[in-house]
């Protein structure tokens, strides 16, 4: 005998659990399968993002920033703290408490929405059947009218620096360190590498980031990337581009890393810990039976169309396991879209307006296209730049580093992209994302009344600067 559901979701990360909740809200009998276990072996929801990704990393980022501020910044405000110390185990314990709270929150949401939560591994069989192997090893077969695959992603391993979980660690291991390493190496200067490097750098580590690419943050607007690198270098991160790691050797409690520099010369560095952050890959191991009808593309992602439908009827895939940026909010919106399409509605995800954030301090955020992309497309455009140093709220808060960059079509004034490095960048860029969803022009934003004094005034001023109308700085001469 098999259990029958309208929808079975495999994976309870930000894509999967949101899809399950929305499906249940729409009156569909829904089950969600999750294989993640806590340290005691009990099943927990949330996937990578909640357990070893977005949430715990932000907990540590905030803790490290508070430590750094108390140690180095409060004196300027007339606040004396005496000797400031960091209790790393206590910081890690706080992080784990937050993770437990959030995973429990998903369990509560499942219960209130009548989602059946199943713990174990799910495998898609032919005919929309799912084989469930629970955490005790028991196997059962579940039937569904629709199956949503949301199995997420895992860190990429590289042969030249095999993770041993002790001296050479991945992003998960970097969230579990119980003491501050004196010398920390990070392979990869992307989003994850910079965030983790920032955590331990603020706590006292000497951090070296080795990036194989010639460009820093190659996918970002390069003017903002250049400014970001300048700020992070000033904070003490040693960011080296064009450095390709060729080998590593663990020697006791340290590791010697060999790499070639930008000139092709072989170099060596010794670290107490080495974090491997060279990207993530879709996780499909054990997910698909040979006759499931679901195809993978050449990069190992599940092949889907624009509506996240796979090559098998009634089978959908969302989140990190499909094309597009590996962002929690992108996966969540795909989950909502798929659940509503199963219920007969016609929603779409606007992939052109998906914000992205790097949670360093200050934050780096973007929405829309970069100047490089617009230029490559051959479109005429105008740029508005505005620095936070000219914003009263930023000066009062002693957070003046960075800028807002807005790009608009030269003929229609339609905003094509916004890129920010600076205080509260993640929240500021969301204002522009919302406006872009409604087809805003730079003039529209410039005519909107912004509260004073706020950080968000930099967004208004950048919009004004697009057409040479900024108030609180000299305007750039317009291109002829």
The residues that are catalytic are 452
Q: From 13, 284, 314, 5, select the one nearest 148 (Cα to Cα).
A: 314
**Beta-bridge partner residues of 417:** 368, 407
DSSP string, 312-335: STTEEE-GGGSSS---HHHHHHHH
Q: Which of 270, 276, 309, 273 is nearest to 293 (CA)?
A: 309
Cα 1 to Cα 4, 126, 142, 205, 288, distances in angstroms: 10, 17, 9, 58, 22
Q: How far apart are CA 206 and CA 191, in angstroms?
A: 19
Cis peptide before 106 (omega within 30 of 0): no
For the chain, the first-to-last Cα distance in angstroms comes to 74
Measured CA to CA in angstroms, residue 393 lies from 70, 75, 286, 312, 469 at distances of 20, 19, 52, 54, 21
The answer to whether residues 387 and 405 touch, using CB atoms and an 8 Å cutoff, is no
Q: Count the neighbouring beta carbons within 10 Å of the beta carbon of residue 72.
A: 11
DSSP 191-235: HHHHHHHHHHHHTT-EEEEE--SSSTTTTS-HHHHHHHHHHHHHH
What is the DSSP secondary structure assignment for residue 75, as one 8-state letter? G
| CA-closest candidate to residue 204, choices 228, 179, 225 | 179
Angstrom distance (rounded) from CA 47 to CA 56: 12
Cα atoms found within 13 Å of the Cα of residue 18, Cβ hemisphere only: 20
Residue 77 burial by Cβ neighbours in a 10 Å radius (0-12, 13-18, 19+): exposed
Distance CA 289, CA 185 (A): 40
């Amino acid at each position: 005998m098999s259990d029958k559901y309208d929808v079975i979701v495999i994976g309870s990360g930000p894509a999967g659990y949101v899809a399950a909740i929305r499906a249940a809200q729409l009156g569909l009998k829904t089950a969600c399968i999750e294989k993640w276990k806590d340290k005691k072996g009990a099943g927990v929801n949330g996937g990578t993002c909640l357990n070893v990704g977005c949430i715990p990393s932000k907990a540590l980022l905030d803790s490290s920033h508070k430590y750094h501020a108390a140690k180095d910044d409060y004196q300027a405000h007339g606040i004396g703290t005496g000797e400031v110390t960091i209790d790393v185990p206590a910081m890690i314990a706080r992080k784990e408490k937050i993770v437990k709270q959030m995973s429990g929150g998903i369990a509560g949401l499942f219960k209130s929405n009548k989602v059946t939560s199943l713990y174990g591994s799910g495998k898609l069989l032919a005919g929309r059947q799912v084989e469930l192997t629970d955490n005790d090893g028991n196997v059962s077969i579940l039937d569904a009218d629709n199956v949503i695959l949301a199995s997420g992603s895992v860190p990429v391993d590289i042969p030249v620096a095999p993770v041993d979980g002790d001296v050479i660690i991945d992003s998960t291991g970097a969230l579990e360190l119980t003491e501050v390493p004196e010398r920390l190496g990070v392979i990869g200067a992307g989003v994850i590498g910079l965030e983790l490097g920032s955590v331990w750098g603020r706590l006292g580590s000497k951090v070296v980031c080795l990036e194989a690419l010639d460009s820093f943050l190659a996918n970002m607007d390069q003017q903002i990337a250049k400014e970001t690198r300048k700020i992070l270098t000033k904070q003490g991160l040693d960011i080296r581009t064009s450095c390709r790691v060729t080998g590593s050797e663990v020697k006791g409690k340290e590791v010697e890393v060999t790499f070639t520099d930008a000139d092709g010369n072989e170099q060596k560095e010794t670290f107490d810990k080495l974090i491997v952050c060279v990207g993530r890959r879709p996780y499909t191991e054990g997910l698909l039976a040979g006759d499931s009808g679901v195809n993978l593309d050449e990069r190992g992602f599940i092949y889907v169309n624009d509506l996240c439908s796979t090559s098998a009827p009634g089978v959908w895939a969302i989140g990190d396991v499909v094309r597009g940026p590996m962002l929690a909010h992108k996966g969540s919106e795909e989950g909502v879209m798929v659940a509503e399409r199963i219920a007969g509605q016609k929603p779409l995800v606007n992939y052109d307006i998906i914000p992205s954030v790097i949670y360093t301090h200050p934050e780096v955020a973007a929405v829309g296209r970069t100047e490089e992309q617009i230029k490559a497309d051959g479109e005429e455009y105008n740029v508005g730049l505005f620095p936070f140093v000219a914003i009263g709220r930023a000066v009062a808060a002693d957070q003046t580093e960075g800028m807002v960059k807005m790009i608009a079509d030269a003929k229609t004034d339609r905003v094509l992209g916004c890129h920010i490095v600076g205080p509260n960048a993640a929240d500021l860029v969301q204002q522009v994302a919302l406006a872009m969803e409604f087809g805003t022009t730079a003039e529209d934003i410039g005519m909107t009344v912004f509260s004073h004094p706020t950080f968000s005034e930099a967004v208004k001023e950048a919009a004004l600067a697009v057409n040479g109308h900024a108030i609180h700085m000299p305007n750039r001469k317009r291109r002829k």
